A and B are shown apart, each in its own frame.
Chain A
Amino acid sequence: MNAPMSDDDAELERLLAEVSPDELGRDAVREAHRQLEKDLLRLADPLPPADFLTQVMAKVEAEPRRVSNAELRSATVITLVALAASIGAFVSSGASANGVAVSLARTFVSAREVLVGFGSGLAAVWRTAGLPLSVVLAVLVMVTLVGFRRLLTPMNAKAVS
């Protein structure tokens, strides 16, 4: 329950004196306030709409949860441990800086071959079947992607929008 009014008697007397200079008037105000307090204490908070909780939870479900500091710390630790382990494995297998450079150059060469091959393939499609085949393939890919997207959309997304 609320703190007893007697603790603030001096302050209340000062405030009462502001309202009414004479004792009789102060008594009347005091009594009116007492009655008002009784009436105010009978008031209650209104109930929110019936679907309030559902609406709040739908909004909460639609909201991506913020990454916590603990999760961030764990992710950093995992990344650093994985990096340290891979460097350790790399060093322990006897690889040197020269070896790394050679593998990197080999990757570039093979990537160039892949790109040239892809370009030749596209040129061949264009020359043989031409535009209609390309359009059909593009439409097929788009329909498949849209289908996948519809399948993966969560059910509650509709309730929120």
Chain B
Amino acid sequence: MLPSLSMSLGTMTADAEQPWAQEVRRARKGDSSAFAALVRGLQRPVFGLCLRLLRTEAEATEVAQETFLRAYQNLERFDETRPFDLWVLTIARNLCLDILRRRQKVQTEDLEPHALTFASSEPNSEEKAIDNQQRQSLEDAMGTLSADDREVLALYYVQKRTTKEIAVIMGVAPGTIMARLFRAREKLRTRMMAAERGAA
């Protein structure tokens, strides 16, 4: 991860130069290595968001790649005073929502959530294995939630975005995010309780 990405977390200052500004300017002039640096810094959160929304790895990869291509094509339209990472995440979100809408329209997709394994790079001790199992059951429960709930939980807890940043990405008022988070957590809690009861 680029140092500039961690700098952008939790900060949204409009007057100071944005952390991505130099790379964006160089990429606009046709410097492909600058654009590669931007992709390298954002590939994980973009892919992560796509995967949590779409629930299929192949589609998430395709959409994440399309996101960066769209960002490249529209670099001229990007407002440099705004955070670049939020702009790219908004593109990714819109592309994912298009696909989800198409899925609902066609209704060929099965309604059961796909069983996804979120790989961990940690050592394989017994304790870690239990830990991974707990995480996997949490991911599975998250997978049963609606796309809106998955999105808000992923952005807040996994990507550690502020409520203001999430509001920018989702295009809603910042005041509504905490309520959405609460409702998503509550749904997650009831799903997990039901799953535990089913397993017992």
| Chain A residues within CB distance 8 Å of chain B | 1-3, 5, 8, 11-12, 15, 19, 29, 32-33, 36-37, 39-49, 52-53, 55-57, 59-61, 63, 65-66, 68-69
Contact = CB atoms under 8 A, between A and B. Distances in A.
Nearest to B192: A36
11 contacts: A2-B10, A15-B183, A33-B186, A37-B157, A39-B135, A40-B157, A44-B120, A46-B44, A47-B47, A63-B69, A68-B76
Given A12-B178, A48-B64, 6 more contacts: A36-B192, A37-B157, A40-B153, A44-B120, A53-B43, A60-B35
B163 A3 contact: yes
Contacts of B47: 45-48, 52
Contact of B76 (A42, A56, A69): A69
A46 B51 contact: yes
- Greatest chain B CB density within 10 A among A8, A19, A48, A68 is at A48
Contacts of A12: 178, 182
Given A37-B157, A57-B36, A47 B28 contact: no
A80 B57 CA distance: 52
B32 A61 contact: yes
Interface residues of B, number: 49
A43 B138 contact: yes
Question: For chain B, what secondary structure do more than half of its interface residues adopt (helix, strand, loop), or is it mixed?
Answer: helix
Contacts of B121: 47
Interface in B157-200: 157-160, 162-163, 178-179, 182-183, 185-186, 188-189, 192
B48 interface: yes
Contacts of A33: 182, 185-186, 189
A12 to B, nearest CB: 6
A33 B135 CA distance: 16
B43 A2 contact: no
A-B pairs, 9 with minimum CB distance: A45-B48, A40-B157, A48-B47, A8-B178, A56-B68, A15-B182, A43-B158, A45-B44, A60-B72
Contacts, number: 115
Contact of B73 (A8, A47, A48, A63): A63
Contacts of B64: 48, 52
Nearest to B69: A59
Given A36-B188, A52-B61, A60-B32, A47 B119 contact: yes
Contacts of B183: 15
B4 interface: no
Given A3-B162, A48-B43, A66-B76, A11 B36 contact: no
A56 to B, nearest CB: 5
A5 B162 CA distance: 12
Nearest to A32: B189
Contact of A56 (B69, B182, B185): B69
